[in-house]
Amino acid sequence: MTLTERDLVFGDIRVPYRYGADCLPELVDTVAARLADADAVLVVADRQVKDHAGRLTVPLARHLRVETFTLDAVEAHKTLYSVQAILEYATERKLTRRSAILAMGGGTVGNVAGLAAALLYRGTRLVHAPTTPVAAFDAVISLKQGVNLPAGKNLCGAYFPPSLIACDLRWLSTVPQGNLHTGLAEMAKNILVAVPGERERFVRAMTELRHRPMAALRELLEIGIEAKQPYLVGDPHERGPAVVFEYGHTVGHAVEFASAGAVGHGEAVAWGMLVAAELGRRRYGLDQDTVEAHHGLTALLGLPEAGDRFRRLDRAAVLRALTADNKRGYAGCAPDEVLMVLLDGPGRPVRGEDGRPLVPVPVAEVMGALDTVIRGTGARAASGERSGVPR
């Protein structure tokens, strides 16, 4: 496959996204050209992708000075402490205002390195080189760079545009199969809330992952771009209509945070979408076909059963994380409520009083829906019930 050249638009900002399969030499040339006037680049890489990083940094070092900072990309490291460690390393290695930071890894690395780039000298150039589906198809298609605080997920961050996004789809194919599928939960979310008409295209690409991985990954990436771009052109900070992409994240983030990362991001968001569907059914008459579509798409991801991991979740920690959700303040919300994106039909978010796709829901009701989903999915598994969506 040849290198595809697309530009993402965030308001008046244009960000080049370059991607293809087995295109590393072209990507190196693209990064080098983009950083032609840089005096150095600090590559912040997930330790798990050090082989990919080496194949990028060695030829890149022929063009400019390369420094490397490795990070264990676990949820516990998505913190200001990691950001500070990167900043201190950058200054020790004499990076300047002309330097750049290149983030190579999944969403955790992208967020930590992205926030470091936003803060170093009040902003140095940032290049994203995503190596996971959740990063390539969703996280980098955003200006948000954020980390966690002890109270909850993504409570500290900045809006900061990268100068370039560069992805070799071959990197994504090396992710373990289970992580590959759960990482595609963000894509299922985009189908449910933004482009329901692309459901068959998404299902077809998912079923082709094993036999035609490069073509399927390209198709999934392009669905991700096409779903988000119309919203981000006019809402680059995702505070208005683009809040819809928080679907499944209120409960998902709470579960992920309360589990200390034992439940991964993609899996947690998938469970969060099932809870949102149950709440949509109860509160706004979401039809059963759409509820079943949620279960069908999440089943397609090969999610592990909730089982004991969910029964062992600290409910008090989940409650605390829900009430600290970072959407609080966008609209009126009582102390015992949380703002959520809910649907009353495929691609039809319920609008709050201010027109945003956010509505307040009592936390007790959210926890009740979570319990219902956990019991219901367990019953489905026990009975051998299968979704109508092909696997």
User: Which residues are catalytic, by number?
Assistant: 144, 246
Q: What is residue 67's DSSP assignment?
A: E
Using alpha carbons, select from 284, 133, 278 the residue that is nearest to residue 202. Answer: 133
Cα 259 to chain center, whole Å?
A: 18
186: tokens are 């963000």
Q: What is residue 334's DSSP assignment?
A: -
Helix, strand, coil percent content, the chain, rounded in steps of 5: 50, 20, 30
Residue 210, judged by CB atoms within 10 A of its CB (0-12, 13-18, 19+), counts as exposed
Q: What is the rounded distance in angstroms from the CA atom of residue 277 to the CA atom of residue 248? A: 9
Sign of the alpha-carbon torsion through 48, 50, 51, 57? positive
Quick check: 292 and 388 in contact, CB under 8 A?
yes
Strand intervals (E) in 96-216 = 100-105, 125-130, 144-149, 152-159, 164-168
Backbone angles phi, psi at 326, to 5 degrees: -75, 0
Rounded to a whole number, what is the distance in angstroms from the first to the last CA of the chain?
26
358: tokens are 């956010």
127: tokens are 């290049």
Residue 213, judged by CB atoms within 10 A of its CB (0-12, 13-18, 19+), counts as middle
Please name the amino acid found at residue 27: L
